[in-house]
Amino acid sequence: MEQHQKRTWAEIDLGALDHNYRTLRAMLPAGCRFLGVVKANAYGHGSLAVARRLEQLGADYLAVACIDEAAELRVSGITAPILVLGPTPIPLAAEPVRLRLTQSVGDLESAKALSEAAQAEGRPVKIHVKVDTGMSRLGFVCDEAHMADTVEQIAAVCALPGLEAEGIFTHFSDADSSEEFTMLQFTRFLDLLEALKGRGITFAIRHCAASSATLKFPCTHLDMVRPGLALYGHYPDPSCEGLDGPGLQPVMRLCTRVAAVRTVPAGSYVSYGRTARLEKETRLAVLPIGYADGFFRVLSNQGAVSIHGVSRPIVGRVCMDLSMVDAGEDVQVGDVATVYGPEQPVEEAAALAGTIPYELLSAVSRRVPRIYRG
Ligand SMILES: *Cc1c(COP(=O)(O)O)cnc(C)c1O
């Protein structure tokens, strides 16, 4: 389909991805590996195209949330190491072995299942041990009270046949806001590594920094960093800005094309629920984008899109497939509207929606074709 026939599309600027990759890379010490997080369809940018580009750029590792996401990349020919961040259900323990994935392991039971699967398949599988230093999500609990027990359990995991314990990692819960808590988590992680070393257990790849810590806390880079959002050109928090030299470039521009312009008389109600009433006669542009495209309904009557560089407020409720905006005097059928892009930052829409750019970007739905440039 030609672009002028598309209703709504997401332009993905792979040149901007290159720029962000190089910008982040330049912050790392020599020898530090780079893992690109491509979970959730690469935060809505298209995981295969992004993974291919990162592979070309020389990323050392990729990461996904689950087996299905990893399988999609492997069957499409991605050969780079892939870390599965989430737990794999025990009945699927053979999958990481067959797909040559690196499985995150956060408990002894799933480590045993993986070990049995590796032996049954006649091939070892790489693991990265997951440690919980304060997020209370996944991993071996690693606070002061559980340190000794955790050392025993990780030692038991590493002794299982068929498992190749290549890495160990933790995840910061509050790197955006609290240096103090981040350093507490980091210290716990280092203390654990020290205790394991005392038992003769070491790991080639120790990692903990996602985007925020990659930008804000260079001391946490260790052997590898794991940025996601920053690769796509967005800062997790304003406190992360200005630390990377050239600045990151947004990779996605979400666009739609004005489908109709209608002059609606004063006093008319607009859209479902009659939440908007026009005070004066108004030209309304109808945009073929709605919440089924991932455009949040909570932006009704508060968000905006940009047309000809001018911000156009959303009037009335966002519908499943359509939204209305104030067309001013100048907007015509066929004009392109930027829904998220440099002149209409996704950060602003996220703030209005009471959420974060991660949620808006990853919500851009399958109905929206991705068009790659660069
Ligand atoms: C999603 C995720 C990341 C990437 O986080 P960003 O904030 O997007 O950089 C890194 N590590 C883990 C464990 C994750 O789940």
- pLDDT tens-digit map of 196-215: 999 999 999 999 999 999 99
How far apart are the CA of 309 and the centre of ligand 1, in A? 33
* Residues with catalytic roles: 39, 272
Rg (C-alpha) for the chain, rounded Å, is: 24
How far apart are the CA of 267 and the centre of ligand 1, in A? 48
Looking from the CA of residue 358, the nearest atom of ligand 1 is 8
Looking from the CA of residue 227, the nearest atom of ligand 1 is 9
Q: What is the location of CATH 3.20.20.10 in the chain? A: 31-233
Q: Is 266 exposed, middle or buried (0-12, 13-18, 19+ CB in 10 A)?
A: exposed
Class of domain 31-233: alpha beta
Distance CA 350, CA 363 (A): 12
Whether 127 and 107 have beta carbons less than 8 Å apart is answered as no
In the CATH scheme, what is the homologous superfamily, with its name and number, of domain 252-373?
Lyase, Ornithine Decarboxylase; Chain A, domain 1 (2.40.37.10)
What is the pLDDT confidence band of residue 9, given thresholds at 50, 70 and 90?
Answer: very high
Q: Is 337 helix (H, G, I), strand (E, B) or coil?
A: strand
- Residues contacting 308, CB < 8 A, separation 6+: 330, 331, 335
What is the pLDDT confidence band of residue 6, given thresholds at 50, 70 and 90?
Answer: confident
Query: Is 90 exceeded by the pLDDT of residue 16?
Result: yes
Whole-number average pLDDT of the chain: 97
Q: Which residue has a Cα nearest atom 11 of ligand 1?
A: 210
pLDDT for 48-105, tens place per residue? 999 999 999 999 999 999 999 999 999 999 999 999 999 999 999 999 999 999 999 9
Closest Cα to residue 47, out of 64, 59, 61, 66? 64
Return the pLDDT at 174. Answer: 97
pLDDT for 220-269, tens place per residue? 999 999 999 999 999 999 999 999 989 999 999 999 999 999 999 999 99
Q: Which of 17, 138, 226, 248 to mutate to test the pocket of ligand 1 (most atoms within 8 A of CB)?
A: 226
Q: What is the location of CATH 2.40.37.10 in the chain? A: 252-373
How far apart are the CA of 244 and the centre of ligand 1, in A? 18
Give ligand 1 pocket residues (Cβ under 6 A): 37, 39, 85, 171, 210-211, 226-230, 236
Model pTM score: 0.97
Looking from the CA of residue 169, the nearest atom of ligand 1 is 13
How far apart are the CA of 229 and the centre of ligand 1, in A? 8
Query: Is 60 exceeded by the pLDDT of residue 1?
Result: no
Return the pLDDT at 3. Answer: 58
pLDDT for 286-313, tens place per residue? 999 999 999 999 999 999 999 999 999 9
Return the pLDDT at 2. Answer: 56
Return the pLDDT at 5. Answer: 73
